[in-house]
Chain A
Amino acid sequence: MRPKVRIEHLYKLFGPNPKAALEKLQREGLSKDELLRRYRHTVGLRDVSFEVNEGEVFVVMGLSGSGKSTLVRCINRLIEPTAGRIEVDGEDLTAMSAARLRDVRRKKMAMVFQSFALLPHRSVLDNVAFGLELQGMTVDERRDRARQVIKAVGLGGWEDSLPEQLSGGMQQRVGLARALAIDPDILLMDEPFSALDPLIRRDMQNELLRLQSEMKKTIIFITHDLDEAIKLGDRIAVMKDGEIRQIGTAEEILRRPADEYVAEFVQDIDPARVLTAQQIMFQPDTVVPLHAGPRTAVHVMRHHGLSSVFVLEDADRVAGIVTVDDAVQAAERDLPLRDVLRQDFPRVAPDTPLADLIPIAAQARFPIAVVEGERLLGIIVRVTVLSSLMREPVRLAAQGDSAAAASGEDGRGGAGNARR
C-alpha cells in the first residue's frame, strides 16, 4: 500500500542563505552548534524522512526547539522547506504551484493549532464554516455542513456564541470542527491540547480517539507530552535538534529506546500505565480444541511443559481451561474433555491496563485469558506481567509455572513483541 504521506530527506535551515548553508552542512557534516557559530544558520530540520499510512495516527514528539512545529508547518508549506520532498498521495507538495497548493490546503489537509487560532469576531458557526467559505461554498450550504460538524464534536447549541465566550476545551473543539468541516484526508495537529488543563486535555484526547475510530483520518499529531504520544499514537517519532531519533510504536520506544536521549526521555514513564493486556499477551497457539480427547490435552501439556491449557470451541471461543491432573484422570476414566473443564480462570478485555492486571495475576491460579466477548485473543501469565514492568524484555527460563514455561521456550517471555 502506498503511504498517505511520505517525507523524504527534509531539511529546513533558517538564515540569510539557507541553500548555501545546507551544502556546507551536508558536505562538512557540521553539528547544529557549529553551523550556527560558523555560518550563522539555525537548523530547523535535518534529514527528516518518514511515512505515514492512511488512517494512522502518527505522533511527532519532542521538546521545544526540537523542530516538531517546523516539521508540521513544512508539511503544508506554511514554512518552505530548504530541501527534500513531501509527498501526499504520491504528489510532491514542494513542487506545487501556489494555486495547486491552495487547492490541496482547501480540500486535502487541515490544521489544528495550539492556541486554537479562531477568528474572534466570528461566531462558532462561521468559524467552523471558514474553510468551506474559502472554498467558495454558499452561505447556506456551508452553515448546514458546519452545524453537522459542530454537533459531532459535542458543541450543539453553541453555534451563535463567540469564541471568547467558550472555555479553552470548547474553543479547541471549534478548532477541531473547523478542520473536520472540510472533510480532509489529513489532519495536522500542532500541540492541540497543550494549552488545556490536564483534565480537559484527557477529555479531548478521548474525544479525538472516539472521532478517529469513526473517521479514520490520517493524523499527524505534534506533542511534547510523552503520555499523550503513547495514548494517541499508532506510531511515534521522537525528535531532537531537528532530527528524528527514533520511530516506532509506543511499546518499541519504551522497551528499546534507540539512543540515550530517547531512553532518558522515556525513563519516567510507568509501563504499568502505558501497556495494556493486548500489548503484553502472547498469541494463543498452545490450545486444545474441545472436540479433541483428554489424551490430546495431556500430550499438548506434556510437550510444552504446561500444567494447564485453554480449550477452544469453534476455533476461537473459550470453552474453559483444563489442568494436567484433571486431563490425566479424564483419560483414565474415558471421560470427554467437556466434563473436566474449569471456568475459574480470570478474563480481561484487551485494553485493560497493566496496572489492573497486576493484582489479578498475583491471585490467579491459572493464566489470564484476554477475551473480546467469548473470543480468545491472547494469554497472559504471571511472569509476563512481571517482566513487562521491566524496561528490557526478560528471557525466561523454563519453570514449573505452567504456561510461563511455554512462553519461555519459544522466547516470547517478554510477550511485548507477540502482538496479535
Chain B
Amino acid sequence: MDFVRMPIGHWMNVLVDWMVDNLAPLFRGIRQVIGTLLNATEDFLQWLPWPVLLVLVALLMWRVAGWRGAVLSALGLYLVGSMELWDRAMTTLALMVSSVTLAVLIGVPLGILCAKSDRVLAVVRPMLDMMQTMPAFVYLVPALMFFGIGKVPAVFATLVFATPPSVRLTNLGIRQVPREVVEASQSFGATPWQMLVKVQLPLAMPSIMAGINQTIMLSLSMSVLSAMIAAGGLGQEVLRGLSQVNLGRSFEGGLAIVVIAMILDRMSQSWGRRKRRAA
C-alpha cells in the first residue's frame, strides 16, 4: 500500500511563480518602502561618529539600567570598534532597526485586531504558528524571488520570523485587562477608541513591551541568515569565518552580535519594567 502523492510542493511553486509574475508592482512597492527606510537608517548610523553613538547608548543605559549597565555597554561597543567591525555592526543595527520598526508597526495593530475579534484571532493564530515554526530557510527562497538579493529580502524574512511575538503579546496584554476595568470605562461612556487609547493600551503596555523585546531578539538572531542572501553586516563576518574555516573571524562577528543583543535586550526590557512600575 503506497501513499498517494500530494503535489503540495508543486502547488507552492505554482503559487509563488504566479505571484512573481502577477504581483511584481506590489513587490516593487514594498521593496521601495523597505529600501528607503533601510537606507536612511543605515546612512544615518554610518554617518554618526562612533564616540557619539557610544556616549548616547551609555547615557540611555545609565538611565534604564544604572551605571554598571552604562559602563559595560560602552566597553562592549568599544570592543566592537576595536575588532574593526563598527561598519558591519552599523549595517546589522540598521537592518534591525528597520525590521523591528516594521514588525511593531504591523504587529501591534494586528494584535489589537486579534484582541478585539475572536474571528480575526482564529485566522491569525495558525499563521503566526507557521511563521515561527517553519524553518527560516524555507521562506528565504520566495523572499529572494520576490525581492532579489540584498537587504530588502533580509528585512522581509526577518519580519516573517520576528513579528509574531508582537502580535501575540499585544493580543494577550489587551485580553488580560480585567473585565471590570473594561466595563467601568464602558459604563462611563467610553467610545471604542477612548477605551483602546486610555485603558487597554496603557494596561497592556508591559505585555506589549515584552513582545517587542522578543521581536528585537528574534530579528537579531536572523542576522546570520540574512547574510546568506547578501544583506551584509556582522552575519557576513560569521559566514566568511565559516567558509574560510577561520574560527577567530566567526567568533569576533558572533561576539559583536552578542554585544548588540545584550544592549538592546537590557534597554527594551527595562523600558517594559519601567512602564510596569508606573502602571
Interface residues of A, Cβ cutoff 8 Å to B:
73, 76, 78, 102-107, 109-111, 113-121, 130-131, 133-135, 178, 182, 188
Contacts and interface: CB of A to CB of B under 8 A. Distances in A.
Contacts of A113: 180, 183-184
B40 interface: no
A117 B178 CA distance: 8
A111 B203 CA distance: 20
A135 B181 CA distance: 18
B186 interface: yes
B125 interface: no
A121 B188 contact: no
B29 interface: no
Contacts of A118: 181, 184
Nearest to A115: B180
Contact of A119 (B183, B199, B205): B199
A135 B183 CA distance: 17
A115 B178 contact: yes
Interface of B is mostly: helix
Interface of B: 178, 180-181, 183-191, 194, 198-199, 202-203, 205, 278-279
A168 to B, nearest CB: 14
A182 B185 CA distance: 13
Contacts of B191: 102
Contact of A117 (B181, B202, B278): B181
A78 B183 contact: yes
Contact of B184 (A102, A104, A111): A111
Contacts of B279: 120-121
Nearest to A101: B189
Contacts of B187: 76, 78, 105, 109-111, 188
Given A115-B178, A134-B188, A120 B203 contact: yes
Nearest to B199: A119
A109 B185 CA distance: 13
B180 to A, nearest CB: 4
A131 B186 CA distance: 10
A135 B188 CA distance: 9
B184 A106 contact: no
Contacts of A109: 187
A119 B203 contact: yes
Contact of B188 (A105, A115, A116): A105
B184 A117 contact: yes
Contacts of B178: 115, 117
24 contacts: A76-B187, A78-B186, A102-B189, A104-B189, A105-B186, A105-B189, A106-B188, A106-B189, A107-B189, A111-B187, A113-B184, A115-B178, A115-B180, A117-B181, A117-B183, A119-B181, A119-B202, A120-B203, A130-B185, A133-B198, A134-B190, A134-B198, A135-B189, A182-B188
Given A111-B183, A120-B203, 4 more contacts: A118-B181, A119-B198, A121-B202, A121-B279
B188 A117 contact: no
A18 B220 CA distance: 51
A119 B183 CA distance: 12
B179 to A, nearest CB: 9
A130 B188 contact: yes
